[in-house]
Amino acid sequence: MQRTSNWGPDYFHKVVDCQWACPAHTPVPEYIRLIAEGRYTDAYMVNWTSNVFPGILGRTCDRPCEPACRRGRVEDEPVAICRLKRVAADNKAGVTARLPSPAEQSNGKRVALIGCGPASLTVARDLAPLGYEITIYDGEAKTGGMIRSQIPRFRLPEEVIDEEVGYITALGGMELRMGSRIDSLKALLAEGYDAIFVGSGAPRGRDLELPGREEARANIHIGIDWLSSVSFGHIDKIGRRVIVLGGGNTAMDCCRTSRRLGGEDVKVIVRSGFEEMKASPWEKEDAIHEDIPILNFRVPKAFTHEVGKLTGVTFEVVHAEYDESGRRRLVPSGDADEHYECDDVLVAVGQENSFPWIERDAGLAFDDAIGMPQVNPLTMQSSLPHVFFGGDAAFGPKNIIWAVAHGHDAAVSIDKFCRGEDVSLRPPPEFSLVSQKMGIHEWSYDNDISNDQRYRVPLRDKVVALKDVRLEVELGFDRELGFKEAERCLNCDVETVFADKLCIECDACVDICPMDCITFTEDGEEEDLRGRLKAPAENPTQDLYVSGTLATGRVMVKDEDVCLHCGLCAERCPTGAWDMQKFLIEMTHAGGRHG
Amino acid sequence: MTYITKPQLHHPGLAKNALGFTRRDYEGSVSTLCAGCGHDSISASIIQAVYELELPPHRIAKLSGIGCSSKTPDYFLGNSHGFNTVHGRMPSVLTGANLANKDLIYLGVSGDGDSASIGLGQFAHAMRRGVNMLYIVENNGVYGLTKGQFSATSDKGSKSKRGVVNHDAGIDLVGMALQLGATFVGRSFSGDKDQLTPLIKAGLMHKGAAFIDCISPCVQFNNHVGSTKSFDYVREHNEAVNRLDVITPRAPIRVDYAPGESVRVQQHDGSILSLHKLAELYNPNNRAQALGYLQARQARGQVVTGLLYVDPNAGDLHEAMGTVDTPLNELGEAELVPGAAALAKINAGLR
């Protein structure tokens, strides 16, 4: 195999699985170490520069980092990365002094942002300190977009939204036009903005056109619209018996909100199997904890009603069959249809984009098959060079952290575009690789591996929690629990770096490695090497770290898969051929700022 | 010396043997030897060998003397019996333990100072008596604990770290073991676990006095140019006469050598030693030839390694003394104090 190159950032970045998996590439181990040290404000700022909404994301993020976490491969569960973010947010001191100062003067460029959700707010944060004059349009009266309208208050208190949106609006140079919905792209184009960013989300909830839909309409609600009405205080109760149709995170929010608005008998009924549901496993867990049964493999057939009033829903019972290519088909099981009585139905079967305000002759190319604008996934640029997209508006419904990542990319593009530079040339990230050795057996990180299992986030008592839709149900880790959970982090960014020339092949690293990661062997092709290591390297998504040829003609091969980054290889190495070096990589944001 | 303990977490695919133990279960506490010490590799080989042999840890007794090597039993087989004796006296204490309880498997761990200097006489008599044990000398040719003086196994003409030339002849423990009647003699190198681990397995299963001289570079004081016990020197001059596979009845190992190239030796307990010949004419069943071969190669500056001699039909001390089958420590008062009538009978027999 070819010797692993140390000079490029990608190899070592990939070893930091959590950071690699995060769309915004938040330096996760870096902030977790800061939390363990009690430096909450520093930890918060590491987050803030890279993902903009630490307090919000620390409660609501879809956490792509956690399934990627190496800890989940060496024991049962990953580090509770997401909830540690909240520890930083909850315990920080004031951060105002650390925020970028407002630009001293305008750079004369005007940018319009459509929608005031996470994508637009990220663009605003990245561009405002550079002197851009920003105008944000949103049809709602309040900022935050879906963060405020769709995420229930018992998961995310309003103060957290106000605080973190406030940090952005305080950067100055922006005008918020709340309550003014954009109805025409053409009209906006005519206003002569230097650039336009569309961050209008995926605001339309899918409906279910089944028999009885029209007749029973008074008690059938579209999930995201209903959640939004609850958030803004327009709805404060629901029937005693509620059926939620759908298996995504919106369905979970709907059923849990129903439980707090008078729903006593609340069920989620879903077409697919329980395992394949789109909702995150922890959101399903939370729903079940609130006494909400989830019934699977039931396809809704009709809404039943009497004298114009909903009485229930009829379902066909199905099971899953898989064809040769592994594609799933739901086929009727042959059992009799089932009928469940209810007073209200919430339909949460997906949401979609909707661009009625973009005239098809405005010059912006659409992919007609899916009804979506053509957007370059690297630059976020549309076919109109000065119109950019991001968040759910760009490629359909995703989540907050993706919206943030899009926002950063779009801001880089807008800045380059306004400077007359080529938007396709992306600024490289900034990185450093620094030895953590402090003494013979001392490292600047805590290399003693915690044996603790993942800690549960304490919850408010269920009886109390279910009484108030605005009462936050998760209490969050306190400092002590936060410390213990932070200690579970393996510090994957402190990388094992090998210097071929210093190695005397004494085997000390092989003997001490608790995970059998290291092998000295004859060189070969990757496939061949993977099979004959001390422990076979069976996870092809994880790289092999390979040295050049050593004195005996062999090579050193390290399987990155389950390395604990405990540094024992480096401690037992007599010549310093192994060293533990911290790899810190930060993305380059608009104007060359890093985070 | 390492400050943190080795993490308990292990590779998720780590296999268990028939007893339900992983290799990690045979480890001891974390080594306090210098980083890179060859002795740690020997410890790792012992752990691997015992794991592969599927021996219950509580049936093994590890005994040692004084020195870096003799510290190592703390670093492997944490659940076995251990005895850290006075300097050079491991063979005597082990002989006593073996006489008292012949059912345990005895592993003696010593070094070149412990066995070739202060304990030379002890070493000699354990070999010639045929005590049923595996005697491993972790041989680095230097007094590491006292900062690098020559030991009794340093070769004549080799240089210390400071450039001093050794004018004394080195003691060859392998040659001595052969002359003294050891029935299993091997030499290996800490940097070659593929060779060492099967030798340890075979030695543990051998009935009688088994001896392995394991060259183990001292990274701190004896791994320089001019040393004959350095990684580089041993790798350059290593002359392996054979490669060994140990085939236990319980865990057969597939050996892929052509029949003409390997010699099979069945040991007392039914295990088969399959020896892949590397040196064309080497016969591991001939003591006199082994001695001659060793000396001829040594004169050419080569370090002969492998299984050098084995007598598969060897007996041990208990056999020679005709002790009862039951371990002596399990005999009760009735057997040990048979009474006046039995004494009278014995006395009558002597009249």
pLDDT single digits (tens) A103-148? 999 999 999 999 999 999 999 999 999 999 999 999 999 999 999 9
pLDDT band per the 50, 70, 90 thresholds, residue A593:
confident
Q: How far apart are CA A69 and CA B59, in angstroms?
A: 41
Residue A7 has a pLDDT of 56
ipTM reported for the complex, 2 dp: 0.90
Residues A210, A198 within the same domain: no
Give me the domain span that covers residue B55.
23-321
Residues A327, A244 within the same domain: yes
Assess if residue B2 is contained within a domain: no
B195: helix, coil or strand?
Answer: helix
Residues A482, A586 within the same domain: no
Report the CATH number at residue B156: 3.40.50.970
Look up residue A376 and give its amino acid. N
Residues A359, A334 within the same domain: no
How many beta carbons lie within 10 A of that of residue B7, not counting itself?
Answer: 19
Q: What is the mean pLDDT of residues B173-188?
A: 97
Nearest residue on chain B to A562, alpha-carbon basis? B11
Report the CATH number at residue A166: 3.50.50.60
pLDDT band per the 50, 70, 90 thresholds, residue A440:
confident
pLDDT band per the 50, 70, 90 thresholds, residue A578:
very high
Cβ within 8 Å of A, B 154-173 = none
pLDDT single digits (tens) B122-169? 999 999 999 999 999 999 999 999 999 999 999 999 999 999 999 999
Task: Kindly state the helix (H) or strand (E) to which residue B108 belongs, with its residue range.
Answer: strand B105-111
Assess if residue B342 is contained within a domain: no
Whether the predicted pLDDT of B260 surpasses 60: no
pLDDT single digits (tens) A330-382? 999 989 999 999 999 999 999 988 899 999 999 999 998 888 999 999 999 99
pLDDT single digits (tens) B49-65? 999 999 999 999 999 99
Question: Going along A525-573, which residue ranges are E strands?
Answer: 544-546, 555-559
Q: What is the DSSP string of A128-190?
A: GGGT-EEEEEESSSSSSTHHHHTS-TTTS-HHHHHHHHHHHHTT-SEEEEET-----HHHHHT
For chain B, what is the mean pLDDT? Answer: 91
Residue A168 to residues A53, A173, A175, A260: CA-CA distances in angstroms? 10, 10, 12, 32
Range in A78-82, A269-273, A297-301, B258-262 with the lowest mean pLDDT: B258-262
pLDDT band per the 50, 70, 90 thresholds, residue B253:
very low
pLDDT band per the 50, 70, 90 thresholds, residue A4:
confident
Residues in chain A closer than 8 A to B40 (CB atoms): 507-508, 511-512, 572
Any CB–CB contact under 8 A between A73 and chain B?
A: yes
Assess if residue B350 is contained within a domain: no
Assess if residue A368 is contained within a domain: yes
Residues A214, A336 within the same domain: yes
Q: What is the mean pLDDT of residues A35-55?
A: 97
Exposure string over A238-256, b if 16+ CB within 10 A, otherwise e: bbebbbbbbbbbbbbbbbb
pLDDT band per the 50, 70, 90 thresholds, residue B262:
low
Q: Provide the shortest C-alpha distance from residue B98 to chain A (in Å).
A: 31
Give me the domain span that covers residue A470.
9-97+429-486
Residues A212, A340 within the same domain: yes
Q: Do A514 and B3 touch (CB under 8 A)?
A: no
B219 closest CB neighbour out of A511, A517, A574: A574
Q: What is the mean pLDDT of residues A420-436?
A: 95
Whether the predicted pLDDT of A410 surpasses 90: yes
Residue B266 has a pLDDT of 77
Whether the predicted pLDDT of A254 surpasses 80: yes
Whether the predicted pLDDT of A6 surpasses 80: no
Q: How far apart are CA A345 and CA A244, in angstroms?
A: 6
Whether the predicted pLDDT of A221 surpasses 90: yes
More confident residue, B282 or A98: A98
Structurally, chain A folds into a number of domains equal to 4
Assess if residue B8 is contained within a domain: no
Q: Which of A132, A101, A140 is nearest to A197 (CA)?
A: A132
Q: What is the mean pLDDT of residues B172-186?
A: 97
Percentage above 90 pLDDT, chain A: 92
Report the CATH number at residue A443: 1.10.1060
For chain A, what is the mean pLDDT? Answer: 95
Q: Do B4 and A566 touch (CB under 8 A)?
A: yes
Helix %, strand %, coil % for chain B, to 5?
A: 35, 20, 45
Q: How far apart are CA A544 and CA A532, in angstroms?
A: 12
Structurally, chain B folds into a number of domains equal to 1
Residues A227, A334 within the same domain: yes
Residues A239, A299 within the same domain: yes
Assess if residue B334 is contained within a domain: no
